[in-house]
Every structure is written in C-alpha cells, then in structure tokens.
Structure 1
Amino acid sequence: MLDYHAGELEVQGLAGVPPRASRVNKSLRPTLPPIAQTFLHEQCMAVLSTTDSEGRVWASILAGEPGFLKTPDEQTVKISAAPGPFDPLSKNLQIGGAIGMIMIDFATRRRMRVNGRIKSVQGEIVVHTEQVYSNCPKYIQARVLPGANTNEPPLPAPLTPQLSPETVCNAALTSEQRTWIERADTFFIASSHREGGSDVSHRGGTPGFVQVENATRLVFPDYSGNRMFQTLGNISVEPQTGLLFLDFKSGDTLQLTGKAQVIWEKERIAAFAGAERLVEFSIEEVIETKGAVPLHWQLVEYSPFLP
C-alpha cells in the first residue's frame, strides 16, 4: 500500500471523494505480478513521462516488437528501444531519475501504468519499479493494427526511430497542429511530483473534446475515473505538464510541454458534456515529429463510456 500525497488528497477533497477512499491507495504495489509481466511482454508501445534539465515535463513514445518490454524480475522493466534524436527523452534519461510509463492494448482496452526510477541506459532503458497498477477500460477507443483482426497483411516489425525524422519545434501551435488536436480522440498526459515521481496517463473523448482556445492554450474535460487523481493531484502541486498526441494512421507525434491547472468553475465546466472538472494547459514548446512511430492503427469503435 502506498500513501497518497497532499496534492492527490486535496483534489479528492474538492471532488467529494469519501474519506475512506482518500486514506491509502490499496491498488498500487511496488512489484509486477505475473499477470502484469505477461501483459508487458505482449505490448508493442509504451508512453513515458520524464523531466528535462529545466524542470519541464515531457510525454514520449517508444515502440518495438512484442517482447521489447522485458521483466527479468518482479521489480525491473527493460525497454529495448531508443528515442529519436529530437525527442527530449534522449536527454532526460538520467540514472536515478524518475520515469512514468503507460502501456495500452487498444484492441482489448487493457492498460497498465508503471512508475519508478531509471537504473541504467546502457543499450536498454532499465527501470526499477515503485508503483504498478492497472486502470479500467473507460474512454479507450478500440483500435487494431493491420493484420491483427483484419484481412490486411501485417506491417513489418517495428524498427528503432529514424536517424533523421522530420522534426519541427515551435513555441506555439501552427494552424495544422490546431486542427490535429481538435480532431483527436486520444492523448496522453505526463506529470510529476517530488515525492510521487513521474506519471503518465491516458485521456480519451469524442473528436473535439480538446478545445484549442488559441495557439498557446488548450482546455479539456476530466471525466469520472478511478477517483485516485494521480494526474490532477500532481498538477495541483507541480503544474509543469507534458501532452502527447499520436496520429494513429501516420505514426506522427505532437509533443507539448507547459503548465496546467485544474478548473473547478461550474459555469466553464457546464460547457463540456460529462465533465466533472476541466484542465487548462498553457503551451511553452511544441515538437512535431513525422513518422515517429512505425505502427499504424485502425479505429474499430469509440468507447461506450464517452459522454
């Protein structure tokens, strides 16, 4: 059992979570049970949360053939994949540094989060686990890889990132990037806490659920979830946050870093169907990478839990 930190308890209180649920988180464990190890071995992608030398939080994605995530023991994860040269992850991998991970099987809507510390980066990224837990399938859009449940031939085995992918860095969103975000039905959000470490979670909704207010500010709803509020609890204490948007058809990625705040104003919340809170995100830097992920998913259906 792992205690909630002050930020998580604060958000739980504002959200009206019963006191019995805010004393201790019984679902988190420091080790990987056999079922979790099997799940990791079957995955072909992982989204990671790290912090750069300036204290900015980033969400990054790594991909590989099933088996690129290994678990030599119940408290170690080895990642056999390398970040692209322009991904902040390449500089953020420091021994002893905090790292968060989320793995999702979109076809089955199963997901698992693993948070811990970096032990080694020699050839593989080796992580010592501190928090391991699964989440419910809410808000995950069902997707499959060609060849999995279709008549299309399978894609070639995923490779390490290109040596020179087309990458563009800006301080604000371009018109094309704004359109990308406004059409998105899924993104990932990375956060951190000085005691709780790094964390990354999934957000899903109908296309348009993320509203682009201007070139440097987004707003998105927070729906009913596991009521532990790891992400919002982190944000309430440390607003530095990272977002990752993945184009599931092309493998392009859009990484944003900036500051987030939780919005509790009822009038603003009412404009978003099903929202219990909002998160406002102010952009500090944008990195767009073409073909960052050598995987291409097909949408099967939206989550039945979407408002």
Structure 2
Amino acid sequence: MTGVYHAGSRAVQDRAGVRDLADHVGRSVLGGIKPVAAAFLELQPLLFLGAADPVTGAVWASVLSGTPGFLRATGPRQLSVIGGPAPADPLAAALATPGTHVGTIALDPRTRRRMRLGGRSRPTERGFAVEADRVFANCPKYLQKRQSYEFVDRPPAEAARGDELTPSQAGFITAADTFFLATVHDDGADASHRGGNPGFVRVDSPRELSWPDYPGNSMFLTLGNLTTDPRAGLLFLDWTTGRTLRLTGRARVEHGPDGTRTLRFTLTEALDTPAELPLRWSPPEYSPANPRPAR
C-alpha cells in the first residue's frame, strides 16, 4: 500500500497482527474529494486541524468555526476555507506559511459522520486552502451524537497560558467525552478524533495525561506517527460554552502484555480560551461503542 502507510504505522499494524486488514481499509483512502464529500463539507460549522508551528516545531490541534459554506471543495483536490485562525491561535503562523503540512477533520455530531483530509496549505485572499493528498471517511465509533446546534454571540476573551494544568483544566479534561489529537510525520500531518464516556482521559499529574487506545479501523495512522515522532497536540472543547483547551507536548504508546495500548502525554504548554467558539450544541447521546472507563 505505497503512499498510505509509513514505517511507523506498519510497525504498529504488525505488532497488532492487522496488516492485511489495514491494507483492505487503506483502499478507501483517496487523493481527491468526491462530490458526496464536497456536499458534506459545505454543511459543517466546524473544522479541526493539526500542524506543527514552523518556528517552534510544537505540534498543535486547533479548531475553526463559521456558518455552513465556510468550507468548500473548490476543485477535485482542494479544500478552501473562508476565514482563518485568530492571531493568538498557535497555528496562525503555520497556516500563513505556504506548503505547511496540515491534517484536517470535519465532523458532524448530528449524523455521527466524519471525514479526514490531509495535504499542504497555502494562504488565499479569503482565508486559506489545503491541496489534498489524502481524503477518507472514518466510521462513527466512539463519536457522541449531538442533535442540534445554534450560533450564539460571545464576546472574545483572553487566553490563559501555562506549563501545568490548573485544577479547573484537569476537571475540564476528565469531564470530556471528546478530544482531537494532532500528530505529524516526515511527509504530512494528521488530525484525529478520540471519544469515550467522561473519564476516559485521565489526568495523572499536572503535566501528565493518559487514555486507552480503543479498537478502531486498524490503520494506526496516529499511533504510527507517534512511533516515529512523539510531538503531539490535543484540543478539548466545551460543546455548550465554547471554551477550548489546547495542549502541546509529547506522547508515547505503551503496549500491554494483553494486547491493549495506552497513550501517555506529557504537557509542554497549555492554552485555555473561554468562549472561543460561537456555538452551543445540544447534550450528547453517548456512543453505544464507548467502553466504561477503568477505575
């Protein structure tokens, strides 16, 4: 499967004994945007992103919002975004730099559908565009359903930075049912979704998080990236208040003797922004696939 997997993903697939399955799933990865995917993008009010800061090298996950239509497929391989990150967003410099590797994920909680697109970005007059080299859909596993959303007027608030989690931030994380994970490799970047019942992410110390790696599509793109490059970015959001919490640091995969996997993340910097997103979503219906968090 040349072009879909690199050595890191292959190593994790082989350890799990799923290379044949990964090859089968990998056939769904496309180099362009099909009409059904283009229609899906135009309905979304959110886009999640992952990339490395071109100056510091830190990897961050971020989110953009807009009225549906702010995302469009303006060519068979081009995603165009109207608007862009705020100047304080840690990915503002990356998206303003032509040729930046960026991973994106568009996710619709109403239908529990999601789509990942990776490629190189470039600034445009109205925002930025991503020239896609990898497009594929993910299954709805571990994705919480939220029936509806509304736009609300929220005044901008200043972000707080730190190198340790506060008690408030630790509580925010342990109450989360969803977060987004950014990783990178030599030839690209990825943004992926992680979901579970509240408590599935543990705060082990003010600078350490951990969570189980639930069984998925067997591609191991994220874990493969971390096998070769431990830089990672995490994004947590409050689907009601619009608060976002971005974390950057390093992550590693621990393989248990029983075949289970645990991710452990060490924090370098946290960016906590109250009321950043102008959206209020309805309460979640938890995915029936969610395992109960270990006590």
Same fold (TM over 0.5): yes
What SS does the aligned partner of 2:99 have?
A: coil
Tell me the alpha carbon deviations over residues 142-175 of structure 1, each in whole angstroms, 9 at most, x when there is no partner: 11334xxxxxxx435x89xx6x532000001001
Instruction: Work out which of the residue numbers 81, 92, 101 in structure 2 matches 1:79.
Output: 81
Instruction: Work out which of the residue numbers 155, 162, 167 in structure 2 matches 1:175.
Output: 167
Residue 194 of structure 1 corresponds to: 186
| Higher alpha-carbon deviation: 83-92 or 97-106 | 83-92
What SS does the aligned partner of 1:296 have?
A: strand
Please say if 1:217 is aligned against 2:213.
Answer: no
Superposition deviation, residue 35 in structure 1: 0.5
Contact 2:10 2:19 in 1 (8 A): no
List alignment gaps of at least 5 residues for structure 1: 147-153, 270-275
Tell me the alpha carbon deviations over residues 73-118 of structure 1, each in whole angstroms, 9 at most, x when there is no partner: 1111111122122211112211011011001110110000000001
Tell me the alpha carbon deviations over residues 35-82 of structure 1, each in whole angstroms, 9 at most, x when there is no partner: 100000111100001101221110000000010001111111111122
Please say if 1:47 is aligned against 2:48.
Answer: yes
TM-score relative to the length of structure 1: 0.89
Contact 1:102 1:111 in 2 (8 A): yes
| Higher alpha-carbon deviation: 11-20 or 111-120 | 11-20
Compared CA separation, residues 248 and 215, structure 1 to 2 (3 A): same
Q: Residue 139 of structure 1 aligns to which amino acid in structure 2? A: Y
What SS does the aligned partner of 1:282 have?
A: strand
Superposition deviation, residue 209 in structure 1: 0.5
Identity of aligned residues (%): 42
Compared CA separation, residues 3 and 186, structure 1 to 2 (3 A): closer
Residue 150 of structure 1 corresponds to: none
Instruction: Work out which of the residue numbers 278, 285, 291 in structure 1 matches 2:275.
Output: 291
List alignment gaps of at least 5 residues for structure 2: none
Show structure 1 runs of 4+ deviating over 6 A. Answer: none
Could you tell me how far apart the structure 1 residues matched to 2:290 and 2:265 are? 22
Compared CA separation, residues 89 and 21, structure 1 to 2 (3 A): closer
Tell me the alpha carbon deviations over residues 187-228 of structure 1, each in whole angstroms, 9 at most, x when there is no partner: 000001012x01000000111000100000000011110100
Contact 1:145 1:295 in 2 (8 A): no
| Higher alpha-carbon deviation: 15-24 or 112-121 | 15-24
Q: Residue 9 of structure 1 aligns to which amino acid in structure 2? A: R
Could you tell me how far apart the structure 2 residues matched to 1:51 and 1:216 are? 20
Could you tell me how far apart the structure 2 residues matched to 1:84 and 1:233 are? 31
Superposition deviation, residue 296 in structure 1: 1.1
